[in-house]
């Protein structure tokens, strides 16, 4: 029996010796590596927080104390130690445990997460509720240096001192977001991490910890620290300036050091930030060497995969977009490209290398990024923002207020539009159609293949308007041509009939065009009549002329989309049918009105009825 098995959960950690704890951390790492390589997931971040998690669980008791992980992608060791060890191998699988904390998965997950920078605000809510109810427990937010740099975190830090409810913030600083972190605050953290004055302070806090007699009033001990602080002539520290005590930096892989500090923090009576330094990917040579590659990996990844990985754009939709942007930037010096901490995911490495002056990684700062792009556009540039659909939700107001209202020529390259698979509920890109459709001046298009993706991007630049082009996760489709015809993009603003038929018309939107073509074959097999297959292309504005032609010649119209049915393209088509009084039966396949859990993308498509069988059923049942 392994030590991890015998420990079973966090309560088993209390009596372990230093040597046993070391062994346990190695076992946790092995478990995390084995399962994540097999199932996919966030490897480097979870490996970096093993000791931190063990120290937290030896000092704070999650039966009473509240521990809140930011983003939650680093919480695998926490899952293993909070009664989910036996199910850990189901990580991110359909019906298995989620890759992020989920309040409905475990009473030890105190906040449901996936998007970044929510932990401090959530912890403040917990702390205030505790004090209003006169309860006694600690509230701990564990946040990475990447997530700390987001505006939401700063809004929380700004309010923390005036809250007068104690929160312990643990800043897990590995000097990286997904890629090395960026910006002025990043440099500030780096200075704090190496400042000799803070190192002196660290030794002092440690000595206070060690010398503190049992039962000694912590406040008198700490007032000595405060006295000492004054004499240390500390350099500027943004946290201290916000009236939040700053302790650190500490070694986040040294269990003894962290436990000492956490115990002291328990007894401190104000909010404080404890700065711990960790190494992303710690404990495995390959993940230490390639922490960005192993930040998020797909299922069945080999541990030596990073050394064989190509650094090019690749064959994904993101890669096609990135290649088009490189060409466009070559042709037009006004083209600039932005990403919010997702340079790897959006395949912009080559663009960043080729056009460093016209590339901007804002860090996790979606709202800022969109207003920055609007500013560039207002000044005559042609900015393109590459952003995952789910994270664009953070910046909905900026799309309306800063881009569409002044009609600025910003192109939103909406990546991961649709169901994303194993990351689950928090990461699907299935709402953008519904809310973007509602914004005046916005044009929304979805390419079925790389040909249309390039066409949309090039036309956007010529037309210079606010536009969103949405494309899914995964391998791009090179070209889907109408049978017997050369693949050429249809005119701007128009839908395209790919293959003609009778009675039934199947309308695909982006990623579902292929599904509609396959469904047409099946329907022909069953009914003997071939349906028409069309590609909607433009979700907003709709091609009313093209729709009129289809609606006057067909009896049944079925749409399929990787977006919510509520507010989706199908609803737009149906409301047009209704408004014009067409005697046509309309049916739609898409994401129903409930959250779609982690599973493979294929399983999620099935759950949403994005299958040949369901499309045939929608067409053929009256
Ligand atoms: C709002 C939002 N934008 C982007 C992301 C994608 N994302 C997930 S983790 C991560 C990096 C976080 O860095 P850090 O907080 O330092 O944690 P680390 O992975 O380094 O431990 C990013 C950009 C996200 N989850 N949420």
pLDDT digits (tens, 9 = 90+) for 53-106: 999 999 999 999 999 999 999 999 999 999 999 999 999 999 999 999 999 999
Is 559 found in the same domain as 510?
Answer: yes
What are the b/e assignments for 346-357, b being 16+ CB within 10 Å? bbbbbbbeebee
Which pLDDT score is estimated for 200?
Answer: 60
Q: Determine the atom of ligand 1 nearest the C-alpha atom of 70.
A: 15
Which pLDDT score is estimated for 91?
Answer: 98
The answer as to whether 300 is a domain residue is no
| Structural domain containing residue 579 | 496-620
> What's the CATH number where 421 sits?
3.40.50.970
Residue whose Cα lies nearest atom 17 of ligand 1: it is: 144
Domain count, the chain: 3
Q: Could you tell me if 495 and 538 are in contact, meaning their C-beta atoms sit under 8 angstroms apart? A: yes
Q: From ligand 1's centre to the CA of 340, what distance in Å?
A: 10
Query: Would you say 428 is a known binding-site residue?
Result: no
The answer as to whether 543 is a domain residue is yes
The answer as to whether 539 is a domain residue is yes
Q: Rounded to the nearest 5°, which phi and psi values hold at 78?
A: -65, -40
Is 326 found in the same domain as 402?
Answer: yes
Is 252 found in the same domain as 328?
Answer: no
Query: Would you say 137 is a known binding-site residue?
Result: no
Is 371 found in the same domain as 520?
Answer: no
Q: What is the DSSP string of 567-620?
A: TSHHHHHHHHHHHHT---EEEEEEE-SSPPPSS-HHHHHHHTT-SHHHHHHHHH
Task: Indicate if ligand 1 lies below 6 Å from the C-beta of 145.
Answer: yes
Is 270 found in the same domain as 379?
Answer: no
Query: Would you say 479 is a known binding-site residue?
Result: no
Which pLDDT score is estimated for 227?
Answer: 47
Measured in residues, the chain has a length of 622
Task: Indicate if ligand 1 lies below 6 Å from the C-beta of 245.
Answer: no
Q: Rounded to the nearest 5°, which phi and psi values hold at 68?
A: -120, 120
Q: Determine the atom of ligand 1 nearest the C-alpha atom of 48.
A: 21
Handedness of CA 84, 87, 90, 93 (dihedral sign): negative
Is 144 found in the same domain as 20?
Answer: yes
Task: Indicate if ligand 1 lies below 6 Å from the C-beta of 176.
Answer: yes
Q: From ligand 1's centre to the CA of 296, what distance in Å?
A: 10
Query: Would you say 115 is a known binding-site residue?
Result: yes
d(Cα 555, Cα 548) in Å, to the nearest integer? 12
Is 616 found in the same domain as 524?
Answer: yes
d(Cα 5, Cα 51) in Å, to the nearest integer? 18
Task: Indicate if ligand 1 lies below 6 Å from the C-beta of 426.
Answer: no
Q: Which residues contact 467 (CB under 8 A, 6 or more apart)?
A: 410, 411, 412, 442, 443, 444, 445, 456, 460
Q: Which residues of the chain have pLDDT under 70?
A: 196-235, 311
pLDDT digits (tens, 9 = 90+) for 149-160: 999 999 999 999
The answer as to whether 297 is a domain residue is no
Which pLDDT score is estimated for 197?
Answer: 65
The answer as to whether 271 is a domain residue is yes
Is 205 found in the same domain as 92?
Answer: yes
Is 502 found in the same domain as 464?
Answer: no
Which pLDDT score is estimated for 210?
Answer: 55
Is 520 found in the same domain as 446?
Answer: no
In terms of C-beta density within 10 A (0-12 exposed, 13-18 middle, 19 or more buried), how is residue 369 classed? Answer: buried
Is 608 found in the same domain as 511?
Answer: yes
C-alpha pair distances (Å), 289 with each of 76, 126, 414: 20, 38, 31
Q: From ligand 1's centre to the CA of 585, what distance in Å?
A: 45
Which pLDDT score is estimated for 188?
Answer: 80
Which pLDDT score is estimated for 219?
Answer: 54
Is 325 found in the same domain as 263?
Answer: no
Q: Which residues are catalytic?
A: 280, 366, 394
CA 58 from centre of chain: 30
The answer as to whether 370 is a domain residue is yes
> What's the CATH number where 567 sits?
3.40.50.920
The answer as to whether 486 is a domain residue is no
Q: Which of 228, 258, 277 is the last residue of a domain?
A: 277
Which pLDDT score is estimated for 443?
Answer: 98
Task: Indicate if ligand 1 lies below 6 Å from the C-beta of 74.
Answer: yes
Which pLDDT score is estimated for 216?
Answer: 53
Q: Which of 452, 470, 488 is the last residue of a domain?
A: 470
Task: Indicate if ligand 1 lies below 6 Å from the C-beta of 115.
Answer: yes
Q: Is 145 helix (H, G, I), strand (E, B) or coil?
A: helix
The answer as to whether 387 is a domain residue is yes
């Amino acid at each position: 029996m392994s030590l991890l098995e015998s420990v079973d959960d966090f309560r088993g950690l209390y009596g372990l010796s230093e040597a046993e704890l070391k062994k346990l951390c190695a076992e946790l790492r092995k478990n995390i590596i084995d399962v994540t390589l097999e199932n996919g997931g966030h490897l480097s971040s979870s490996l970096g927080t093993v000791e931190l998690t063990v120290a937290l669980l030896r000092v704070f008791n999650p039966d009473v104390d509240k521990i809140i992980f930011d983003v939650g992608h680093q919480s695998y060791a926490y899952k293993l130690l909070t009664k989910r060890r036996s199910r850990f191998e189901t990580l991110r699988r359909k019906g298995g445990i989620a890759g992020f904390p989920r309040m409905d998965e475990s009473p030890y997950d105190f906040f449901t997460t996936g998007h970044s920078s929510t932990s401090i605000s959530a912890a403040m809510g917990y702390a205030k509720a505790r004090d209003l109810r006169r309860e006694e427990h600690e509230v701990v937010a564990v946040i990475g240096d990447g997530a700390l740099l987001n505006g939401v975190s700063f809004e929380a830090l700004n309010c923390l001192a005036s809250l007068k409810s104690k929160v312990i913030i643990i800043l897990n600083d590995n000097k990286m977001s997904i890629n090395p972190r960026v910006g002025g605050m990043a440099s500030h953290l780096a200075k704090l991490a190496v400042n000799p004055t803070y190192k002196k302070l660290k030794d002092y806090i440690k000595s206070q910890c060690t010398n503190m007699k049992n039962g000694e009033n912590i406040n008198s001990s700490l007032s000595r620290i405060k006295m000492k602080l004054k004499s240390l002539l500390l350099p500027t520290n943004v946290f201290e300036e916000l009236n939040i005590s700053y302790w650190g930096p500490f070694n986040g892989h040294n269990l003894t050091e962290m436990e000492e500090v956490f115990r002291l923090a328990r007894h401190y009576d104000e909010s404080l930030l404890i700065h711990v330094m960790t190494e992303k990917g710690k404990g495995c040579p390959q993940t230490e060497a390639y922490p960005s590659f192993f930040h998020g990996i797909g299922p069945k990844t080999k541990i030596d995969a990073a050394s064989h990985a190509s650094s090019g754009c690749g064959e994904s939709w993101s890669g096609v977009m990135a290649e088009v942007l490189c060409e466009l930037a070559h042709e037009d010096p006004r083209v600039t490209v932005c990403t919010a901490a997702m340079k790897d995911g959006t395949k912009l490495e080559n663009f960043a290398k080729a056009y460093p002056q016209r590339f901007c990684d804002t860090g996790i700062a979606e709202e800022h990024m969109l207003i920055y792009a609007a500013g560039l556009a207002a000044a005559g540039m042609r900015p393109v923002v590459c952003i995952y659909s789910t994270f664009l939700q953070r910046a909905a107001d900026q799309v309306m207020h800063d881009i569409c209202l002044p009609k600025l020529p910003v192109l939103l390259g909406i990546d991961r539009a649709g169901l994303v698979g194993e990351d689950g509920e928090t990461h699907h890109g299935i709402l953008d159609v519904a809310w973007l459709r509602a914004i005046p001046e916005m044009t929304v298009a979805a390419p079925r293949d790389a040909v249309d993706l390039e066409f949309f991007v090039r036309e956007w630049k010529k037309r210079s308007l606010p536009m969103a082009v949405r494309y899914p996760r995964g391998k791009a489709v090179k070209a889907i041509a109408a049978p017997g015809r050369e693949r050429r993009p249809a005119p701007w603003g128009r839908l395209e009939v790919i293959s003609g038929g009778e009675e039934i018309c199947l309308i695909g939107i982006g990623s579902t065009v292929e599904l509609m073509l396959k469904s047409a074959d099946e329907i022909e097999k069953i009914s003997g009549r071939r349906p028409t297959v069309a590609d909607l292309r433009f979700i907003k504005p709709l091609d009313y002329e093209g729709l009129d032609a289809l609606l006057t010649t067909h009896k049944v119209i079925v749409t399929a989309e990787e977006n919510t049915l509520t507010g989706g393209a199908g609803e737009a088509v149906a409301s047009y049918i209704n408004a014009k009084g067409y005697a046509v039966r309309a049916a739609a396949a898409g994401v129903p009105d409930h959250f779609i859990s982690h599973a493979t993308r294929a399983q999620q498509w099935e759950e949403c009825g994005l299958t040949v069988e369901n499309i045939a059923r929608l067409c053929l049942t009256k």
